[in-house]
Amino acid sequence: MFGKISSKPADDKRPRPDEADKLANLKVQRDKAAQQRDRAREKIASLQSHLGHLEPVATAGWKKFACYEDYWEDQRLHKAEYEAERAFEAALWARRDSFGTSARCGVCRADAVFEVDSQWADERGPAWREKMQCRTCGLNTRLRAALQFLLNVAPPHTKPKIYATEQVTAFFQQLKQAYPDAMGSEYLSDGTSKGSESAQGIRHEDVTSLTFEDESFDALLTFEVLEHVPDWGAAIREFARVLKPGGLFWASFPFDLAATKMLVRATVSPLGEIIHHQPPEYHGDPINADGCLCYQVFGWDVMDALRGAGLVHLDVYSVWNPSLGLIGRGLHFVAGRKAF
Ligand SMILES: [Zn+2]
């Protein structure tokens, strides 16, 4: 059978006027979409952080755990190794009240002497994590580990934009030396308004409502702050908000790796009263001589909260390396990135 014979001459391939309009329209739409796509790509490229891989490069002694099960598996497999670490520490301590020990400081990048005393010591030994203060840079074990990791992951020559939730500390001084553009702040209660500086040049920020624009930083550092923030959920949402896509979240806080859930020590009632669920525990505070109340000790559920805030590639990093003076239990950090 034959199909319908068109009345249109076979050689006329020109589109009809209405079709020509439609085609022109489509072309305009396609060009517009391409332009939008290019602009979006440019914007993403300008916002994306160019930080290197999170692996702490070749600095031996670092391990990472993605979850509770990972942590326990490691404990089981490396029981003897951990026992040897404790034995090494006991031999170094030898029940002295105070002493100096030398090793290489990863921050000073030189041989250094680390000071240990018996403040916060218990029957198991000195508080290694908070001691081993380098005579040169003044940083303790935890802070040397934190900065050393950062120096590896975000080399200063890449000029990352960094924000730290501290400013009057030895850590911030060292951070500023390595990264002159780094910003820091403290929580002030002297009437300084948020986002501005006190007469002493200290910037006031409330971590639950930061004054920075969205996607401002390549790295956000927060050490031993979250446990003092009753509304810590708001703080982590703010941290994620001000990070650029791909930006580094690098934090430490009391984190019981053996626990799936956080221990709530205190909360704040709707009327603003502090309710203690555990005996109050105060930690040292560079701004407030009375110390700072610890509201919670985190468990692995904090990782879900961080993911919920928009962070990905979350792991706990843990280090023990005596040649770098990084010893003691609990040298744990949380690293993650802002999702793209
Ligand atoms: Zn040092």
pLDDT at 47: 52
pLDDT at 13: 62
Q: Which structural domain range is residue 231 located in?
A: 61-257+302-338
CA of 226 to the centre of ligand 1 (A): 26
- Asked if the structure places residue 125 within a domain, the reply is yes
What CATH number is attached to the domain comprising 234?
3.40.50.150
pLDDT in tens, 266-309: 999 999 999 999 988 888 777 677 788 899 999 999 999 999 99
- Asked if the structure places residue 45 within a domain, the reply is no
| pLDDT over threshold 60, residue 5 | no
CA of 38 to the centre of ligand 1 (A): 46
Per the structure, how many domains does the chain have? 1
CA of 172 to the centre of ligand 1 (A): 13
CA of 159 to the centre of ligand 1 (A): 22
CA of 105 to the centre of ligand 1 (A): 5
- Asked if the structure places residue 295 within a domain, the reply is no
CA of 132 to the centre of ligand 1 (A): 10
CA of 138 to the centre of ligand 1 (A): 6
CA of 107 to the centre of ligand 1 (A): 5
| pLDDT over threshold 50, residue 331 | yes
CA of 169 to the centre of ligand 1 (A): 14
Residue count (the chain): 340
CA of 136 to the centre of ligand 1 (A): 5
- Asked if the structure places residue 276 within a domain, the reply is no
pTM of the model: 0.81
CA of 104 to the centre of ligand 1 (A): 8
- Asked if the structure places residue 113 within a domain, the reply is yes
- Asked if the structure places residue 2 within a domain, the reply is no
3-state secondary structure string, 170-235?
HHHHHHHHHCCCCEECECCCCCCCCCCECCCCCEECECCECCCCCCCEEEEEEECCHHHCCCHHHH
pLDDT at 26: 84
CA of 194 to the centre of ligand 1 (A): 33
| pLDDT over threshold 80, residue 49 | no
pLDDT at 58: 44
- Do 177 and 229 form a contact (C-beta atoms < 8 A)? no
- Asked if the structure places residue 14 within a domain, the reply is no
- Asked if the structure places residue 279 within a domain, the reply is no
pLDDT at 332: 94
**Alpha-carbon separation of residue 327 from 6, 86, 152, 183, 210 (angstroms):** 88, 9, 19, 29, 34
